[in-house]
Amino acid sequence: MPRAAIIGDLVLDVVAGAPARPGGAVWYCARALSQIDPDADVVLVCRSAPEDREALVPELEKFGFPVRWQPAKQTAQFSFDYEGDRRIMQIDALANPWTASDINDWAGEAIGDASWVIVGALTRADFPLETLAALTGRGHRLVLDAQGLVRRGRLGPLVCDGSIERAILEHITALKLNDEEAEELCGGIDEASLRSLGIPEIVLTLGSAGAVIISGEVITRVDAVPIDGPVDPTGAGDSFLLSYGVARQRGATAHEAGLIASRFVSMIIAR
pLDDT in tens, 39-62: 999 999 999 999 999 999 999 999
Element (H, E) at 257: helix 254-268
Specify whether the CB–CB gap between 261 and 240 falls below 8 A.
yes
Q: Which of 16-30, 52-66, 132-146 bottoms out in mean pLDDT, i.e. has the lowest?
A: 16-30
| Domain-wise residue ranges, the chain | 4-268
Residue type, 101: S
> In angstroms, rounded to a whole number, what is the distance separating the alpha carbons of residues 179 and 176?
10
Backbone angles phi, psi at 85, to 5 degrees: -80, -10
> In angstroms, rounded to a whole number, what is the distance separating the alpha carbons of residues 211 and 191?
13
User: Which tens digit of pLDDT belongs to each residue from 156-185?
Assistant: 999 999 999 999 999 999 999 999 999 999
pLDDT of residue 208: 77
pLDDT of residue 195: 97
pLDDT of residue 234: 63
pLDDT of residue 235: 64
pLDDT of residue 269: 61
Specify whether the CB–CB gap between 69 and 82 falls below 8 A.
no
Of the pLDDT bands very low, low, confident and very high (cuts 50, 70, 90), residue 261 is confident
Question: 3.40.1280.10, 3.40.50.300, 3.20.20.150, 3.40.1190.20: which CATH number matches 4-268?
Answer: 3.40.1190.20
pLDDT of residue 102: 98
Backbone angles phi, psi at 151, to 5 degrees: -75, 130
Average pLDDT for 243-265: 84
Average pLDDT for 171-200: 96
